[in-house]
Amino acid sequence: MPKIVNREEMAQGTIILNEIKATRISQKAKPGQFVILQADETGERIPLTMADTNPEKGTITIIYMVVGKSTAKFKELKVGDDYYALIGPLGTPTHIENVGKVICVGGGTGIAVLHPITKALKEAGNDVTTILGSRSYDLLIMEEEMKAASTKLHICTDDGSKGHHGFVTDVLKETLENNDIDLVVAIGPIPMMKFCSLITKDFNVKTLVSLNPIMVDGTGMCGCCRVSIGNDTKFACVDGPEFDAHKVDFDELGKRLASYLDEEKQSLEAYEKSIA
């Protein structure tokens, strides 16, 4: 069984880190890939992109935000507890090569997804400028890890509690104006990725985003994670999760992700009452 060997509460306890014993996955996983976890026999299958792997220890690290019943169940798991099920690595790995100058933009739990990609791009010889954003500094995660994985690091906070007082898009635009950039990777909330994409399109810079549509089986069979990429329908679980940002229909993605918000809220409220 996949056992939790380390657990940390981050960002005021709303974001949780789990290091999980998963020897075979840790040896096979590559940047950009994800796993699917299940808390118990009746629990929902939750896809989470790995924030780190340690083949020597035989562990993988996942970081998630508590937003619904299933992630609330995840939060109840402590060090020494097992997840009911874990499958992976899934998805197409990030294509890593030395392209020159790269900007990596992350927000929220997207920073965890961005970490192994940023690290791999730097190790491949790229000059990597990383821009991280959060509503306030106490909600920012993985600052030191991202600093180590980058050539240069910028922090942005909506309230000005640290770094640039404003959005990641401000620093992204300024960096593009003053540098010849070969690639941008943006991972975070849909609005952030959408507006990063609009900016980089104006500069004609190749941009990748990692998408998180609703997913069930993670192997391309259910079709639940379909996304519109240009004139094509793709499945994020097998064709992605990374796609050309300039071809993504972000408005459609946002609507599909909001399909079950009312039901998710009701389910979480019922679960919290049951354990109170």
- 176-191: pLDDT as tens digits: 999 999 999 999 999 9
pLDDT beyond 90 at 226: yes
pLDDT at position 16? 93
The 3-state DSSP class for residue 151 equals coil
Phi and psi based region of residue 195 (left: phi greater than 0; alpha: psi -120 to 50; beta: remaining): alpha
What domains does the chain contain, in order, with CATH numbers?
4-90 (2.40.30.10), 101-257 (3.40.50.80)
Q: Write the CA distances from 105 to 43, 95, 175, 250, integer angstroms.
A: 32, 17, 12, 17
pLDDT beyond 80 at 106: yes
pLDDT at position 93? 95
pLDDT beyond 80 at 276: no
pLDDT at position 247? 97
pLDDT band at residue 113 under the 50/70/90 scheme: very high
Mean pLDDT taken over the chain: 94
pLDDT beyond 80 at 1: no
Six token digits for residue 99: 């392209």
Q: Is the pTM of this model over 0.85?
A: yes
Say which residues have a Cβ less than 8 Å from residue 51's Cβ, sequence separation at least 6: 17, 61, 62, 63, 112, 113, 115, 116, 142
Say which residues have a Cβ less than 8 Å from residue 173's Cβ, sequence separation at least 6: 199
pLDDT band at residue 42 under the 50/70/90 scheme: confident
pLDDT at position 218? 87
pLDDT band at residue 84 under the 50/70/90 scheme: very high
Cross-strand bridge partners of residue 197: none
Over range 2-7, report the average pLDDT.
96
pLDDT beyond 90 at 14: no
pLDDT beyond 90 at 11: no
Contact 62, 18 (CB under 8 A): yes
pLDDT band at residue 23 under the 50/70/90 scheme: very high
DSSP state of 3: B
pLDDT band at residue 194 under the 50/70/90 scheme: very high
pLDDT beyond 90 at 115: yes
Q: What is the DSSP string of 173-239?
A: HHHHHHS--SEEEEESSHHHHHHHHHHHHHTT--EEEE-----SSSSSSS-TTEEEETTEEEEHHHH
Q: What does the longest C-alpha to C-alpha distance in the chain come to?
A: 55
Distance separating alpha carbons of residues 40 and 37, to the nearest angstrom: 9
Contact 80, 3 (CB under 8 A): yes
